[in-house]
Structures are given as C-alpha cells and as structure tokens.
Structure 1
Amino acid sequence: MKTSNPTAHRMVFSDLHLARQLFGEQNTHLEKIAQAIDVRIDTRGNTVFLEGAEYASGLAENILNQLYDLLKHGYPLFDTDVAHAIRVLSADDTANLKDIFLDTVFITSQKNAITPKSRAQKDYIDAIRNFDIVFGIGPAGTGKTYLAMAMAVAELAKGTVRRIILTRPAVEAGEALGFLPGDLAEKVDPYLRPLYDALNDMMRFEKVTNLTQKGVIEVAPLAFMRGRTLNDAFIILDEAQNTTTEQMKMFLTRIGFNSKAVITGDITQIDLPSEKQSGLIEAKNILQGIAGIRMVFFSKQDVVRHKLVQDILKAYEEHEKGRSK
C-alpha cells in the first residue's frame, strides 16, 4: 500500500565514473527522476540523498539502482532511457529493466542497439520470437512497426528467412491514385515511404537498394499480395486498421511455410469509409483464441517518441471522452 509518510534514503554508488553517468551531466538525470516522482535528490560525491514520501523515495531508489546496474553491464544511458525507466517502474515496480533494456534485437549499421523500452515492447519481441502470427495493436509512436522491422532484418541476417515482405494498404490514396503522375510504383511509393525510412535507419542505403533490386526485400501495397503464397518470409502488414475484412482475410491466408507475419495498427486512426469495417478490429475480435496467434496491446504509456506525443495522445483521448458524454 502506498503511503505519504516522509522518509529519507542514502545511496552510495561505489564506481565514481558510473555514478557520474547515472547522475547525468549537471545531474540532469537525477533532476528528471526528482521531478517525475516528486522527491528531493541531493548528491555529495558518489552519494545520493533521497527525501520524500515513502513510496516515492522507494521508487526513486529502485530506479537508480536498476539504472546503475544497467551501466555496470555496459549499457549506454541516455536521457530517453531515464524517462523510459521512470515510466516502466512507475507502472510496475517489480519490473526488471535488465530483462527489457538488455534484450538486443538488432545492431544497426551505425552500431546502435535496438532494444525494447517498455514491458509491452518486450512482450511484443518475445511474441514475435515464439509465434508465427503476431498482432501489435496500439497508438502511434509505440514502436510497433519499427521493432517488427528490426526483428525481420535480424532474422534475415541469421538466415532463418530468405526474404522480407513489407506491405500496407494505400487507403489514403483511394481513387486519386490515377491522377498522380508516374507509373503505379511511383504512385504508391509515398504510402510505403515510412517502411523504407525504418529500413534505412537499420541498414545502409546501398544495401537496402541492393536487396530490394534482388527481391530479397519487397515493399508493396497490400493489393499486390493477392493470389500469392509467401514461404520462407518475414512479412509485416503495417497500418492494418485500414484493411477491410476481405483484405485482412486475404493477407492472413497468404502465409506459407517457414514464415512469420506481424500485423500492426492503431484502431483509433481508421481512414476507411464509415460503411466499411476495419479488418484489424474484426481480426482482434475473432482470432484471439487460436493457438499460434498472439496479440500484444500497447497504450500511450508505451510511446517512445518525443514526450509531447504522449501529451498529445492524452489530450485527444480526454477530448473524445468529453464528446462521448
């Protein structure tokens, strides 16, 4: 049970070099923790003094201990990691940050490690490893597509799949596609650009281009999947909230031997005509009981973009609640 009794904690971090990384430049990491959970944090050398409500002080101590443990394991600590740690442990103080932050999915061409940043992201990665079909459902900015892409690239690098297929419905284009200049590929390219952006963030542009030309990586509108059987592939269906019932069924029945499929979408941002039901919502309702299919749900607490993205989502959520009353 949380209490408001004032309490003080004293913490000593034996490695002064790591302690400085933990505190942040000019103690910015400590200030972030103090502000987020309403405690006072003072330092003297490698010693930290915490003062505040009993639960808040205990939470701050837990955060600092776990972040220090990450540093001892060679984890490079950034401001965003501190924010993620605060969010994870505030929601569940029994969580183990090492299990989440040290689970490296892929090392990018810039030598950056892609790792989960929340409990839901960790569950998502584990689901993709262990299930052939995984749905990632939740708001924008929660890493659904990016982490799926990292898993796909990692599986391709290990040789467990022979190709990556990335697809999404070009719903926003509608009938207007015919009035855009260029051939069909040039017309749909803008709707597939976010998938290319994620790929280029993980692999050198030249390598992405080479693999795309060889057909090892295919980025195509969902309509191009009709009539195919996709074997030995890692398939990602992005923006799945904009599929119709027929499109979702068509996609799910394309999956062949030795293939994985990840379906991502945000059911609060559907661009289909009002008379059309979202194939993602229907799939969520009818497929959860099937062995071999896993559904992972994200919330605004899992947003890993700019902090303002969380605030924007919260504001819209409160606005919608007010309209529905």
Structure 2
Amino acid sequence: MTTRNFDLKERNVTYQQLVGIESKTIHEVEKKYKVRINEKSDVLEVTGLEEDVEHTLQFLELASEVAVRYQHIDNQDLDYLFSLVDECKTHRFIEVMDELLTRTFNGKPVRAKTLGQKQLIDSMKSHDMTFAIGPAGTGKTYLAVCYAAEQLKKNEIQKIILTRPAVEAGENLGFLPGDLKEKVDPYLRPLYDALDDMFSPERTQRYIDKGVIEIAPLAYMRGRTLDDAVVILDEAQNTTKAQMMMFLSRLGRNSKMIITGDVDQIDLPRHQLSGLKVAHEYLQGINEIAFVKLTHTDVVRHPLVIKILKKFAEGDRNNEENSNHRR
C-alpha cells in the first residue's frame, strides 16, 4: 500500500469546493479508484495501491482546476472527469478551460465544458459554416448563440438571425391562436433564453425591436440574402432537403452560418428525408464547412439525461436490427 498527499492550498482550492455537499465527490473517487482519502488540515491523504493512488492524484489535480474556474464540482461532472483521466486527456482539458468564449450579461464566464464543445467553438471561429450534430444537452444551441452575441459585441457583425423549423405545428401556423409572434414563440423559446443570458431580457428585447436580433420561423428566410450576420438554424434535423438547400443558399457577405440538430430526434413524416442528414452526406470535403459531432459524453445536463439518451439510442438500434431481421 502507498500513501501520498494532495495539497489543497498549493492549488488554491478549498476542501468544500472540491468535495461538494456531504463529501460526495470524495466518496465517488474512493469507490472509483479503490482508495481511502482522509483530510488533514488542507491536505488530502490518499492511500491505496500505487497505480490507484496515481490515478486518484491525477483526478484531484483535474478536479481542482475545474473547481477553481467554476467555483465547485457538479456531481454530474464526475463521470466525464473520470473518463478524461482514463483516456489520459487531463492536460488537454485543462488547456480548454483556460480559453474564454465570452461572458454573460452578469459577468459569468462561458467556457467549453467538454472537449467536444471546444471543437465546436474552434470550428465556429474558423469556418464560414458549421454543423453541430449531437444529442440534447450538449450545449449546441447555447454555444452558437453565445458565439453570435460575442461577434455582435465586437462589432464584427451587424445582426444575429435565429430560426427553427416549426415542424411541431406542421408549418401550418395559421391554425394556432394569436398573432405571428405568439404562434412561433413556443418553438423559439430556447433561443430567447440563450439571448437573455447574454444580453439581459431588456436589452434582448431592444435589439429585437431595432432589428439587430431577428428570430423567425424558417419559412421567413426564403428569398433573402443575409449579409454581415451570424445566422443560426436550430433543430435542423426537422428541415426537409428543400428547406435546407433554401436556407444554406441565403449565406451572404461577411456572414457565418451555424446549423445545429440531432439526427436521432427527427419529427418529419417518415417519407421525408431530413435536410440535416442530406447536408451531412453531400457537403463533406468543403474546406469552409465544418461538421462537429457531439456525443453523450458532451452532455452537460443531469447525469440521468446521459443514461436516458443512451437507453433510447440502444433501444432504437435494437428495434432497427429486429426490423432488418424480419425483412
């Protein structure tokens, strides 16, 4: 058995920041690496087999870096941090956390929380068109809006345009009560939420009133050329091939497009191809276009969400295999 110390003071992190409420982090680490951890006046004493102790110290180093930047460790972060240690990617992730994308209107820093999110941020910066494809909870839409907001703050662009296909209403908005805004707002709410984070609700509304920010259903993009803007298409898996072609051809001078979606959550009728799937197949190999694939490991919501998404994906695969066998 080996015993080694981890100095909390040396890393400018408190015991409470690192271990969380009721020392949950420590209990999980002890269970994961089969070690015993004792606190002794700002020092964590780690006892176990040499290899297990080494892995534990690597984890504590990484967790300390996360705690310093985000003020605490969420329980849902643990599995991802464990995976980084297992895959020897701790140094890469620490470098990621040093980079700031932007700040919310109340000063909260916005950083990548996973390596997949870092790849998305880098692609948005370096490409005219970025497709972010992955499951719910991976931060696709939020990071896209944050990037667009930062570009607007820097006067790199003059306008932010956000759109979604209103497929849940069958694109037949006329049957819904209220004016156009009342009809489409339920489908665009996630975009409003992200903007409110970046600008405050009051400033967001002022920008909307002035036309600096435009939020509209996809049908309103037809026939336009969008210059000096960041244009975000959300829920792109629910576009048809024709809608996707129409949208992509709107790209104007000094503009960028960010297209987000989840190909496992298509709500279109079965006979219709998803425009997102078609774009992914047809547009490979164009240097100015980036495709970023986010996975369940990039989900930054409650850990139960990751388990649910995995089970649904597993169930879909099994159903597809059974269907193929029956044929």
Q: Same fold by TM (over 0.5)?
A: yes
What's the offset of the Cα at 1:40?
3.3
2:229 is matched with 233
**Secondary structure in structure 2 of the residue aligned to 1:254:** coil
Q: Which amino acid is the alignment partner of residue 318 of structure 1?
A: E
Structure 2, unmatched stretches of 5+, are 323-327
- Asked if residue 89 in structure 1 is aligned to residue 103 in structure 2, the reply is no
1:113 is matched with 109
1:171 to 167, 170, 175: 167
Task: Measure the CA separation in 2 of the matches of 1:259 and 1:230.
Answer: 7
2:216 is matched with 220
- Asked if residue 296 in structure 1 is aligned to residue 300 in structure 2, the reply is no
Cα deviations across residues 112-145 of structure 1 (Å, max 9, x unaligned)?
1111110000011011111110110000000000
Cα deviations across residues 233-281 of structure 1 (Å, max 9, x unaligned)?
0111000000111111111110111111110000000001101000101
1:12 is matched with 7
- Asked if residue 180 in structure 1 is aligned to residue 176 in structure 2, the reply is yes
1:195 is matched with 191
1:253 is matched with 249
Cα distance change on mapping 1:91 and 1:162 into 2, 3 Å: farther
Q: For the Cα contact (< 8 Å) 2:63–2:73, is it kept in 1?
A: no
1:310 to 290, 306, 313: 306
Q: For the Cα contact (< 8 Å) 2:164–2:218, is it kept in 1?
A: yes
Please identify, of 196-205 and 236-245, the stretch whose mean Cα deviation from structure 2 is larger. Answer: 196-205
1:42 to 27, 38, 63: 38
1:78 is matched with 73
What's the offset of the Cα at 1:181?
1.2
2:127 is matched with 131
Cα deviations across residues 145-182 of structure 1 (Å, max 9, x unaligned)?
00111101111001101110000101110165222112
Cα distance change on mapping 1:291 and 1:175 into 2, 3 Å: closer
Task: Measure the CA separation in 1 of the matches of 2:278 and 2:169.
Answer: 23
2:143 is matched with 147
1:30 is matched with 26
**Secondary structure in structure 1 of the residue aligned to 2:100:** coil
Cα distance change on mapping 1:154 and 1:37 into 2, 3 Å: farther
Task: Measure the CA separation in 1 of the matches of 2:51 and 2:315.
Answer: 32
Q: For the Cα contact (< 8 Å) 1:245–1:278, is it kept in 2?
A: yes
Q: For the Cα contact (< 8 Å) 1:63–1:85, is it kept in 2?
A: no
**Secondary structure in structure 1 of the residue aligned to 2:290:** strand
Structure 1, unmatched stretches of 5+, are 1-5
Aligned residues: percent identity?
44
Aligned length: 319
Cα distance change on mapping 1:167 and 1:38 into 2, 3 Å: farther
Q: For the Cα contact (< 8 Å) 2:58–2:85, is it kept in 1?
A: no
Please identify, of 276-285 and 198-207, the stretch whose mean Cα deviation from structure 2 is larger. Answer: 198-207
Task: Measure the CA separation in 2 of the matches of 1:86 and 1:235.
Answer: 33
What's the offset of the Cα at 1:87?
4.7
Cα distance change on mapping 1:88 and 1:219 into 2, 3 Å: farther
Task: Measure the CA separation in 2 of the matches of 1:150 and 1:253.
Answer: 24
Task: Measure the CA separation in 1 of the matches of 2:33 and 2:146.
Answer: 33
What's the offset of the Cα at 1:103?
1.8
Q: For the Cα contact (< 8 Å) 1:88–1:118, is it kept in 2?
A: no
1:3 is matched with none
Q: For the Cα contact (< 8 Å) 1:163–1:216, is it kept in 2?
A: yes
TM-score (norm 2): 0.89
Cα distance change on mapping 1:183 and 1:82 into 2, 3 Å: closer
Q: For the Cα contact (< 8 Å) 1:84–1:118, is it kept in 2?
A: no
* Cα-Cα RMSD: 2.3
Task: Measure the CA separation in 2 of the matches of 1:153 and 1:37.
Answer: 42
1:274 is matched with 270
Cα distance change on mapping 1:163 and 1:267 into 2, 3 Å: same
What's the offset of the Cα at 1:70?
5.3
Q: Which amino acid is the alignment partner of residue 53 of structure 2?
A: S
Please identify, of 87-96 and 229-238, the stretch whose mean Cα deviation from structure 2 is larger. Answer: 87-96
2:315 is matched with 319
Q: Which amino acid is the alignment partner of residue 72 of structure 2?
A: L
Q: For the Cα contact (< 8 Å) 2:121–2:143, is it kept in 1?
A: yes
